[in-house]
Chains A and B, each alone.
Chain A
Amino acid sequence: MARKEHKWLLGELPVLVSEGTLDEQSAEKLRLKYGEDGAAAQRLSTGAIVVSVIGALLIGLGIIMMLAYNWQQLPRFLRIVLALLPMAVMQVLVVLGFARKWQSDAWREATALLWALTVGATVAMISQIYHISGNLENFTLIWACLIIPVLFFTQAVTVVGVYLGILLAWATTSQLNDGVGILFWPMAALVLWPLYKAMRTNIYGARAIWMQWLTALAFVAALGITLEKYVPGLWIVLYSSAFAVLYMFGGSRLAEPNSFWQRPLHTIGTGGIIILSYMLTYGWPWREIGWCYRYRGGRQVHVWAEWFDTTTVIVVFLFAIILLIALLIQKKKYHLFYGSMPLIAATGYFMVTCGERANDVSYLTAMLFNAYLFILGLATLVRGIWDRRLGAVNGGMLILILLIITRFFDSESGLLAKGGVFIVLGAIFLAVNLTFRKFKREVKS
């Protein structure tokens, strides 16, 4: 729960006790948990985890650098022992932690992170001792495979981050070396188990929230990396669908009053939709796209990976449409503005793809997204005013101002006119904020 909700709950307790809904004993327990002391204890615990993770990271990197020095004066046997020692020590520490039932999260996170790092360091050091050439692609895949049990066993957030990072590095190098990075998806899906466990323990807990952030960000990055990219422009439909899915799925799963930080999927979805829509207000993403421009830039073609591209786009798009229909049924009108982006993107894509006058139509699709982003900004602004949420009001205004300023800069107006528009927009922005704050103060009093 955010601090705002803590305050609200503490304020409600006397009312609940007087109504007889809650007895005094339970109310006291809640006061202890969510009162100043409880919140301070929680902050202290989070602080301890952050500090221990940073410490573990520094120690791990220090060990890697010290081993990388290459102590060639030492006999080979001793160098092998030095290479294996950090991993062995971490294994012992993790076994100790497990035997003591992970008494602290800070201990669990720090040892798990060091364990994951030392596994990679050991493999790298053995390669160094025997002058094994290897390559980043094989190394990252072996490393990722070796820390899968660490992921399941410790269920630590740091290991989830390291694991997804290594997988992304592998998928990137694989694609760059004419390979296929599709293996990323089944391997990354393994993260869902610790995520599920963390969410089941406490859906609003720091572990669950962090894991959601890491997983969602890796998902967004991997979509672009693992695409075979044989049909230009497919990313427009794919990313608009993916962001809409994150927006709608994240919004439906967690309650509205939570902060942006506590709704990672929703936040990434919202940000993604706005940024992508803004990119699509330009003409360049719409030019020379579609099946007529199939290419692979001279690289090796993987026919089955081409099918993966098409299937992924269709599946993610259909999922977005199903969620959109669910929103329609639930009559959540405001969310339809954001959720409908894949439909508009797909319409634009089919308008420009392969037509005889595709480049002329690209101007129209850019205009379509200018209109869409304008409506999105307006809807966010109105929703903010309606719900009395200053954040949403400012968000809506920023979208509108960004759009107006950009289009105005594109025009051939003189500096005087441009300056005037800037001043007017700035004044409106400040006036709305001042009025809104005044209005909120009046409502409170």
Chain B
Amino acid sequence: MIKVKYLAVLLLVIAIAAQWAVPLSMMSRREIALKRGTIYRFQTAPVDPYDAFRGRYVALSLSTRSVMTTNIFRKSEAIYLKLGTNANGYAIYEAAEFRPSKDGDWIRVSNSYGDHRRNLTGKQGGGATTNEAYTLYIEAPFDRFYMNEKEAPQAEARYNRTSRSPGGNTWVQVRVWRYIPVVEELYIEGTLVRELLEKDKEK
């Protein structure tokens, strides 16, 4: 009987420990990234859907969507993307590899689109390569910027005005640390989205 009670207490301790471990592990790596990570600016095209469980957010559609590579990745296989910047200072993907090298910043994403080049080699990814480089499309590693239900639609309206003009100056600031990208801020017309909305209110 005593053993059963001890088992129940042990189970309770495990339950509580596991329930704290998951959010704490999610937080800790991102906190470090926000403090020590390298800053990259990804040019974006936001829209505004609704996620009932987590409130409203501005959906981010990145301008950088592909990379040239000779590597073939299976569906759901990890892709390491080397980050660089273009002439305008926006982030681009410079390479897609199975393993990251030590130079530069890399982010890890999952291959969402499957292996569409397997006919070239007869293999299904897993380290296979092709002779000629092809365009590998990448699903955005971050696709939302959470705001509260009042501000998200305003941000969307503001964006819609900006994005339709050529050379729309909209980006998301991301910090990258050990393959983890953490979204820090959203900029519309070169200004922090919250500051922009505040200015709109003052008008």
Contacts and interface: CB of A to CB of B under 8 A. Distances in A.
B55 interface: yes
A64 B51 CA distance: 12
B196 interface: no
Contacts of A142: 22
A123 B183 CA distance: 17
A122 B149 contact: no
Nearest to A65: B55
A133 B15 contact: no
Category for how many chain B residues contact A: 35 or more
Contact of A64 (B30, B53, B56, B145): B53
B11 A72 contact: no
Given A70-B148, A123-B22, A128 B8 contact: no
Of A80, A128, A150, most B-chain CB atoms within 10 Å: A128
B19 A98 contact: no
Interface in B100-147: 114, 140-147
Interface in A107-134: 119, 122-133
A254 interface: no
A142 B73 CA distance: 26
A149 B55 contact: no
Interface stretch (A83-91, A311-319, A403-411): A83-91
B8 A149 contact: no
Interface in B23-68: 23, 26-27, 30, 52-57
Contacts of B140: 133
B84 to A, nearest CB: 22
Category for how many chain A residues contact B: 35 or more
B182 A70 contact: no
A127 B147 CA distance: 13
Contact of A133 (B8, B23, B75, B141): B141
B194 interface: yes
B146 A123 contact: no
Given A98-B12, A133-B143, A149-B12, A128 B19 contact: no
Given A98-B8, A153-B11, A153-B12, A126 B54 contact: no
Given A80-B27, A153-B11, A128 B55 contact: yes
Interface in B129-185: 140-149, 151, 182-183
A127 B22 contact: no
Of A94, A98, A149, A178, most B-chain CB atoms within 10 Å: A149
Contact of A119 (B19, B114, B144, B149): B19
Contact of B15 (A83, A130, A150): A150
Contacts of A84: 23
Contacts of B52: 68
A149 B148 contact: no
Contact of B19 (A80, A127, A146, A300): A146
A214 B75 CA distance: 35
Given A69-B149, A70-B148, A300 B53 contact: no
Contacts of A146: 18-19, 22
B16 interface: yes
Nearest to B182: A130
A350 interface: no
A87 B19 CA distance: 9
Contacts of B30: 130, 132
Contact of A95 (B12, B55, B147): B12
Contacts of B56: 70
A114 B16 CA distance: 14
A439 interface: no
Given A80-B27, A146-B18, A128 B54 contact: yes
Nearest to A130: B30
Contacts of A129: 146
A71 interface: yes
Contacts of A178: 75
Given A68-B54, A69-B148, A126 B142 contact: no
A127 B183 CA distance: 11
A119 B22 CA distance: 10
Nearest to A143: B22
Contacts of B149: 69-70
A422 interface: no
A152 interface: yes
Contact of A131 (B16, B114, B146, B151): B146
Nearest to A67: B55
Nearest to A72: B148
B55 to A, nearest CB: 4
A152 B4 CA distance: 12
Nearest to A150: B15
A91 B23 contact: no
B54 A131 contact: no
Given A68-B53, A131-B142, A133-B143, A149 B14 contact: yes
19 contacts: A68-B53, A68-B55, A70-B147, A91-B16, A94-B12, A126-B26, A127-B26, A128-B54, A129-B146, A131-B142, A131-B146, A131-B182, A132-B30, A133-B141, A133-B142, A133-B144, A149-B18, A153-B8, A153-B12
Interface of B: 8, 11-12, 14-16, 18-19, 22-23, 26-27, 30, 52-57, 75, 114, 140-149, 151, 182-183, 194
Interface of A: 64, 68-72, 80, 83-84, 87, 91, 94-95, 98, 119, 122-133, 142, 145-146, 149-150, 152-153, 178, 300
3 closest pairs, A vs B, by CB? A149-B15, A68-B55, A131-B183
